[in-house]
Structure 1
């Protein structure tokens, strides 16, 4: 290892984010401890030697691998879980600024343990204005729908007790050079004066179809459209405008591709609608202090409770499948009695059976010196913004998806915001699309902020107050003219920019399909003489957590033979109120809580 790489690793080791045990609010007096203890100290394991033997060796502490480690450990397997990095998360990491610097350096010189990434470009114009540990930056940002298999698993496994969740209800679509907030509830649709009565009737009929799409009558009706593009189906059958089609398909459905089919599109809209009002007036949650990196660490702590052994800064050098001996770069070895599971990013330098890099995801992450509160709902600190296909001057063929995280998310200081942009477009075109979208975001926040200098003479006839208290402009002619004449009084200050390309063997999907992950997993095993090694996949383009549990179960089945006892753990119920001792905006409750609601009741 070169001196430069060694110094980068040392930098990442000494510079670390506060552990979950350090961040977790103190337990109120009188409450009994959770079944799973806090495990303070797991964030910095210090094993002097590698164990002589284990049942399953897992290389990489990404989200899928961490879920798998916990499931196997609770099932009774002796798990050794290692990572070549000095921190948890691997491809799902949540990093500080200094860790990001080291990560970029390792990616660009192709260091072992950083496979699956390329062309990491980092720009920090004002390093003196950034305190590294004040930031939690996700390599793979995601949001969680209130009805999802991962959220169910967090509740079942009690891992949610290690985490803090917050709500997200603001979904914006870029159109006509501005961002519009989607009308997604019955109340919003009925009171939206920008919609005609006929359009409202069509939207309500469509939403009724979505919620009844699995009924025998609807299944028969939709049979003729199963190969029809979703956008064509809703535009033709429900007479909706292209703007409304974009809002449904790409903003509420969060489809990463334009050619999604009708059954998949309906499923994605249903995911949103049935998640709305489950735990509150929002469909989506996110983990405070970081996304997948926090959840990965939570499952690692659960695995440690069940007996898994952890060792960081341990790079797999080789694996002898005949002797079942794994050798690490520090010279230590371990005998693996059952299987080796390896993240593609952690594969040995000479490994030939790593899943193919068929698909690309290009990401642009920026930190701006602005609160961006104009994009958030009251009491929230995050939002989703989507640029549908062909909505940018760059003529983007694929959507550009943006997750906005404000200071209330615990990821950046007050008065700042982190923007995560991504697209499945390839090559230089992807980077051009992201830069163009970034420019539009900058223009928009300057235009919409109180001190941005935007001034338009609107009367009561030009605006409408929405149910959530926000004001929508309905005189688009006056607004559009003012936009063209707008000259901002300030410029947006960018404190940090990171752009990189990530590869994956998982195709952009419409809905979670087990075969998608089976095909990706089989690329590594079927073409290899070494059938004892299982490769997980690099993260997909999906901005939700859909697919994580599916892939973990497939790996689990490959090792155990069945997923019947996947997290089949009889946790002792201590009757704690899951919301007690947490912040008011925390949104997690047990599934049998009286606040758990059925699907929204849409009526014409």
Structure 2
């Protein structure tokens, strides 16, 4: 097996440890070379990860309990959970990079990936196309390591099972998280900023007093909707829109905001319980860590988090090997042959990502997500809240010129996200509409966003020259999108593709159905082979841990001890969890040790502390108390 020579380190993208702002000074103060500096443990005591921090091992074990093929997010979390439980795990990937189907790729890696998809070498990805304009220097673009394109971009709710696992497993120490509070939805040729606080609602002059009362009444109901079955039970199998009209007398635009922006639903036809579950998810996540409900990881999404769990798994004893796949498996002898002719006895199970090379036929994936990613040559600060570098833009049903049947959702990442260069922004658009119609919907959404942004920029420039006003107009509650600009949106690249999954689009709020659809056991191999599905169309990470626990249960027998670990630094870790949940700074730099944070000091876990905008006391991640104050009664 080939190992990476030390000289190659100077050309690769910096590791997560090197990018952590909280230990940058410690690394910079070392007089040793780059390779030598990694042999010293930084102040935050972050251990090495075999295959990420140093060359891969020369050999692999002859016998293991579990072989996991694919270093995607689900498989990486599983590897860490099994390793800390005591299983001997071999974790391989047929790619030369970590992340598999959920990787964060450089432009050069993305180019190769598109070629593999179109050759049929990447199962469950189809119809990939990459376009780079002629005025872009292709060689410089591919050589630039500052671009990080997520194949499956996602956001993290402040109250979610993944965040709970990140804290419990201590993997959050390897990552940086930034806040996201800017949500916009497009309706009646306008982009409207979502009203997500009491202040927003009551200061909005466009809402009548009765509408404000009804909105607050609904929000209070939504926080405890499960206990008020007499109200929603008659609508159990009926659309949420009808429920909101009948019981809370809300108007269409308020309903669309609740369904598509707060609930992040993809259709008006979503049933009442499903929509209420999604809306409550947003409400209980608000004000947990600050004045925002959602976060995103810096330097990439799924790919970055998966590397964090791979690091944790390696610390617990998992062996890693890239550019490796399973060539054959004998269910009688339980011997697996790898692509380098290694022979390994597998005592328990083999877990396979459906995108990995293997001699087994993966299960069919019937559900499609069409994706369009564009790196725009513009900072797009108009979309962001002050101090932030990300936003969500939603196009509800029927809002586009294509009369879209399903919502188009867009995640916008600016330069402070660590995934693009200065003066540019990454736009991730997606829809569950299939075929040519899905492609047209995404193009229409892209055109609308581009025209509106260019028009706003033109107005800002005009104002600064003729009226001496601010050179950057903030996007108000209404931002006209129907006035065309003569300018043309410029970009570095566009990539589009179709991702397939076996998980139905609505199953993220149906845990039992989600468990059944996300895991497939190959009975013809004695039950030894288990396939994990690609993530669902859900824009958040919700559902990922459900899949991981299902896989864990198939191997161990129960998920009762999933990440139930007594770490050696357990007392310190408990303090860290309290710090994360009760003393995390809410600044323009974000949550965790963000480079742009304005924290007064950094604690031993690399987390900034501040007296402003923090949660008092420890938070039980399973409680629903994060946003109760949001819906307190108010005198009108």
Q: What TM-score range do you get, normalising by the shorter chain?
A: 0.7 to 0.9
Compare 282-291 and 442-451 and name the one that shifted more.
442-451
Partner residue, 1:594:
617
- Whether the 8 Å contact between 1:15 and 1:98 is mirrored in structure 2 is no
Partner residue, 1:495:
492
Give the drift of 1:167: 0.2
- Whether the 8 Å contact between 1:355 and 1:520 is mirrored in structure 2 is no
Give the drift of 1:567: 0.6
Change (3 A) 1:471 1:16: closer
Q: Distance in 1 between matches of 2:298 and 2:535?
A: 20
Q: Say which of 397, 418, 425 aligns to 1:417.
A: 425
Change (3 A) 1:68 1:132: same
- Whether the 8 Å contact between 2:353 and 2:533 is mirrored in structure 1 is yes
Compare 566-575 and 539-548 and name the one that shifted more.
566-575
Give the drift of 1:442: 0.5
Partner residue, 2:147:
135
Change (3 A) 1:312 1:45: farther
Compare 387-396 and 589-598 and name the one that shifted more.
589-598
The answer to whether structure 1 residue 25 and structure 2 residue 21 are counterparts is yes
Give the drift of 1:26: 4.7
Q: Distance in 1 between matches of 2:375 and 2:626?
A: 38
- Whether the 8 Å contact between 2:507 and 2:514 is mirrored in structure 1 is no
Q: Distance in 2 between matches of 1:185 and 1:213?
A: 19
Q: Distance in 2 between matches of 1:512 and 1:567?
A: 23
Q: Bigger relative contact order, structure 1 or 2, given CA contacts below 8 A and separation 6+?
A: 1
Q: Distance in 1 between matches of 2:528 and 2:371?
A: 33
- Whether the 8 Å contact between 1:172 and 1:251 is mirrored in structure 2 is yes
- Whether the 8 Å contact between 1:264 and 1:511 is mirrored in structure 2 is no
Count residues in correspondence: 568
- Whether the 8 Å contact between 2:500 and 2:534 is mirrored in structure 1 is yes
Q: Classify the secondary structure of the residue corresponding to 2:222.
A: helix
Q: Classify the secondary structure of the residue corresponding to 1:442.
A: helix
Change (3 A) 1:395 1:14: farther
Q: Say which of 324, 337, 346 aligns to 1:336.
A: 346
Partner residue, 2:293:
283
The answer to whether structure 1 residue 506 and structure 2 residue 529 are counterparts is no
Partner residue, 2:199:
187
Residues 307-456 of structure 1: pairs in structure 2 closer than 5 A: 307-348=317-358, 350-352=359-361, 354-449=362-457
Q: Distance in 2 between matches of 1:272 and 1:330?
A: 48
Give the drift of 1:25: 2.5
Partner residue, 1:79:
89
Give the drift of 1:473: 6.2
Provide, for residues 257-305 of structure 1, a one-character-per-residue CA deviation record: whole Å limited to 9, x for no partner: 4321111111111110110111000000000000010100000000000
Q: Give the unaligned 5+ runs of structure 1.
A: 1-11, 460-468
Provide, for residues 116-170 of structure 1, a one-character-per-residue CA deviation record: whole Å limited to 9, x for no partner: 1111100011134625311011000000000001001101110000000000000
Compare 574-583 and 564-573 and name the one that shifted more.
574-583
- What TM-score, normalized by structure 1, do the two folds share? 0.88
Give the drift of 1:539: 1.3
RMSD: 2.9
Partner residue, 1:122:
130
The answer to whether structure 1 residue 545 and structure 2 residue 554 are counterparts is no
Q: Give the unaligned 5+ runs of structure 2.
A: 1-7, 27-40, 468-472, 593-606, 620-624
- Whether the 8 Å contact between 1:17 and 1:95 is mirrored in structure 2 is no
The answer to whether structure 1 residue 585 and structure 2 residue 589 are counterparts is yes
Q: Distance in 2 between matches of 1:430 and 1:493?
A: 23
Residues 257-296 of structure 1: pairs in structure 2 closer than 5 A: 257-296=267-306
Compare 570-579 and 186-195 and name the one that shifted more.
570-579
Give the drift of 1:355: 2.0
Q: Classify the secondary structure of the residue corresponding to 1:214.
A: helix
- Whether the 8 Å contact between 2:274 and 2:509 is mirrored in structure 1 is no
Partner residue, 1:42:
52
Compare 272-281 and 249-258 and name the one that shifted more.
249-258
The answer to whether structure 1 residue 65 and structure 2 residue 75 are counterparts is yes
Q: Classify the secondary structure of the residue corresponding to 1:345.
A: coil
Provide, for residues 411-438 of structure 1, a one-character-per-residue CA deviation record: whole Å limited to 9, x for no partner: 1011100000001111111111111111
